[in-house]
Chain A
Amino acid sequence: MDETQRPTTMHTLKRTTNRVTTAVRNEDATYYTTLAQRAARTYTVEGLTALWRHIKAILPKHRLRRSDQRYDLGEAMLQHFEHLEAGTTYSTQEIRKQCLSRNAQNANKQPVVTYVDLRELPTLAETEDLCLRQNPNKAPGPGGLSSNVCRYGAAALSPHLHGVMLKAFLSAVEPCRYKGGFLIPIWKQKGPQNQADSYRGILLSETYGKVYHAWLRRRLLPTMLHRRALGQLGGLPSQQTVSGIQLLRLHGRLGRANKISTAVIFVNLRSVFHHLLREFVFNDDSHMSFEELCKVLDPMDFDLKTLADELRTATQQTPEDIPPALQRCLADAHRNTWFQLQQHGDMATETRRGTRPGSPLADIGFNLLMANLVQQLHEQLSQCAAYCQGQAALGAQVPPVTWVDDLAVPMATVQPDQLQPLVQEVSAALHTLFQRYGLSLNMQKGKTEVVMMYRGKDANRCRSALFDAESPPI
């Protein structure tokens, strides 16, 4: 490079840099001016919600928040979701064929429900109401139709959809496309983005399928209210999370006032919506076999033979608080379910467990199971002498508090040194109980936790023995 070339190049670089900076600044100014003008107009014409939608996109936090899949994880992602929901991947035609042959088989095998109360049938008014309740601007499922069509065209659509729902209800056979959808992996905002288990899946199902499932949910709600355990708050009408917070706080405050040691175990379950065994809730006629369970559950953690037996027993039981026709529909809605990862073109995965996050039936299905589990837990706790003495000393029977998949078990003891053994006993009972239903406690940091508050005589000694020990005794 000669003597003139270097300064000339440097001069050109500096001039270009200045030009680029000016251009970027001008563009920024234009962008923000337009945005401000548009914001004012949007607020005047469309209101606050629309304004927030415009502004949200440019906020630094939301701009940086990437929840979509940014790495091509290929088969790893498919295997991850296959394992979560005990799935097997086939071609979409094969899934459809299996679904149709199963429907035909069931139509011949199932005892026909000869009596259906007129009040059990879906009504046109209900259908229209559920169409109107669809949230607008939702991503469409495999049908490609936006929820806006359903919401804004409710009056025109509902008579046709009502016919489909009536037929699906009476024959207990729903269209195959209602049973599945696109599974979109969403990054959990933690963990490496190039690992499949850092993603959770959300199902984009067909809008009309959602309307049908929302109707099933509505019909199942009285059963849920009837079965709810004391202290079960989540997913039920007119309940607030703050009630649960206040219950636990009151428990602790009363313990403090009465100088009684108290503890609360906060339970977190691992991937519950995916891991739930449907047979325990929806009485599917074909339960998961021992071999199928071996593929998805670790034999070291679960007693798979007993679990397989219990699944078989569960499918043979007929709940009396759900009308027979509704029972058949619920079982059908959880049969031959499938998902499709969008990059896997013609392939889809048939799933065997889980209540499919994204489905209107997901929460109520889990709540029904939780009601049963909490009931059993309550019975076990009432047989524990230290637990009962603590409750009596406190002057109130505070039940385990649940909010869908979150569970808090408050307990109290008369003597501080009874607290640690009681916590250990209850933890063991929780572990065994959830294991019996194919669920496991999430023991990662910040998930399942115990908060212990020692009070009364010897409290300091107990606190010191627990927290100053070299290796934690619990």
Chain B
Amino acid sequence: MDLDIDEEITSRIGMAKPAFAEMKRTIFSNRALDPDARVKLYESLVLTRLLYGCSVWSDVPASLIKQLEAMIIKHHRNIHNCGFWNEDGIPDDAFVATHQVMPFRLHWARHRLVYPQHVARHGLPVHIQLLHAEYATGKGWLHEVSQELMWMSTLIDLPLSLRNVA
């Protein structure tokens, strides 16, 4: 098993890019379709390819996260026809806020926060044992998820003690 997450993410990007390009003319730049419908189609036809298996990604380099963020924003700019090619020229932050684009980090966090529930309910005992062993090393997937939960606890009240997360 190749432990480098870089290659997996690069191959996911390599799958999502052609998927978007293939359907760009017919769907994503099709002005006859409502932009909301195009975004929904984008989520089901392109994002699913990009984010497949992202619930178990960990130790993702910052450069790749940036690349993923930029790709999603670029695609949304194409869908909303808002970019350097017309005179709107709004920066990414303003574009994301105006069109309520969900950034990659949130998609990723959502997937990662749902997955522990699955592991807790249906995971093999050895799976949970390995997760604990990796957590003890001070890094890895469970460590990152517990940090995400801590971040979440600053926003909402969680129905669990974070000491018991791991």
* Chain A interface residues toward B at CB < 8 A: 35-37, 39-40, 43, 48, 51-52, 55, 58-61, 230-231, 238-243, 245-254, 256-257, 264, 395-399, 408, 410, 451, 453
Rounded to whole angstroms, the CA-CA distance of A410 and B130 in the bound complex is 13
Chain A residues with Cβ below 8 Å from B121 are 238
B100 within 8 A of A: no
In the complex, the answer to whether B129 meets A55 with C-beta atoms within 8 Å is no
Scoring A238, A240, A251, A253 by chain B CB atoms within 10 A of each residue's CB, the highest score goes to: A253
Scoring B3, B40, B118, B134 by chain A CB atoms within 10 A of each residue's CB, the highest score goes to: B3
Q: Out of A230, A253, A399, name the residue touching B134 (CB < 8 Å).
A: A253
Rounded to whole angstroms, the CA-CA distance of A246 and B5 in the bound complex is 12
Chain A residues with Cβ below 8 Å from B118 are 238, 240, 243
In the complex, the answer to whether A257 meets B134 with C-beta atoms within 8 Å is yes
In the complex, the answer to whether B30 meets A39 with C-beta atoms within 8 Å is yes
Chain A residues with Cβ below 8 Å from B37 are 43, 48, 51
In the complex, the answer to whether B130 meets A396 with C-beta atoms within 8 Å is yes
Q: Out of A55, A230, A245, name the residue touching B126 (CB < 8 Å).
A: A230
Q: Which of chain B's residues 38-97 have a Cβ closer than 8 Å to chain A? A: 40-41, 44-45, 53, 55-56
Known A-B contacts A36-B30, A245-B56, A453-B3; the reply to A250 vs B131 at CB < 8 A is: yes
Q: Out of B31, B34, B41, B131, name the residue touching A52 (CB < 8 Å).
A: B41
In the complex, the answer to whether B134 meets A61 with C-beta atoms within 8 Å is no
* Chain B interface residues toward A at CB < 8 A: 1-3, 22-23, 26-27, 30-34, 37, 40-41, 44-45, 53, 55-56, 115, 118-119, 121-124, 126-127, 129-131, 133-134, 137, 140-141
Chain B residues with Cβ below 8 Å from A243 are 118-119, 122-124, 127
In the complex, the answer to whether A48 meets B40 with C-beta atoms within 8 Å is yes
In the complex, the answer to whether A52 meets B1 with C-beta atoms within 8 Å is no
In the complex, the answer to whether B56 meets A254 with C-beta atoms within 8 Å is no
In the complex, the answer to whether B124 meets A395 with C-beta atoms within 8 Å is no
Chain B residues with Cβ below 8 Å from A58 are 26
Rounded to whole angstroms, the CA-CA distance of A239 and B124 in the bound complex is 10
In the complex, the answer to whether B129 meets A396 with C-beta atoms within 8 Å is yes
Nearest first, the 8 closest Cβ-Cβ pairs linking A and B are A36-B32, A250-B130, A246-B56, A248-B1, A238-B122, A40-B32, A252-B3, A257-B137
In the complex, the answer to whether A264 meets B1 with C-beta atoms within 8 Å is yes
Q: Out of B32, B44, B130, name the residue touching A254 (CB < 8 Å).
A: B130
Chain A residue at minimum C-beta to C-beta distance from B111: A242
Rounded to whole angstroms, the CA-CA distance of A396 and B141 in the bound complex is 17
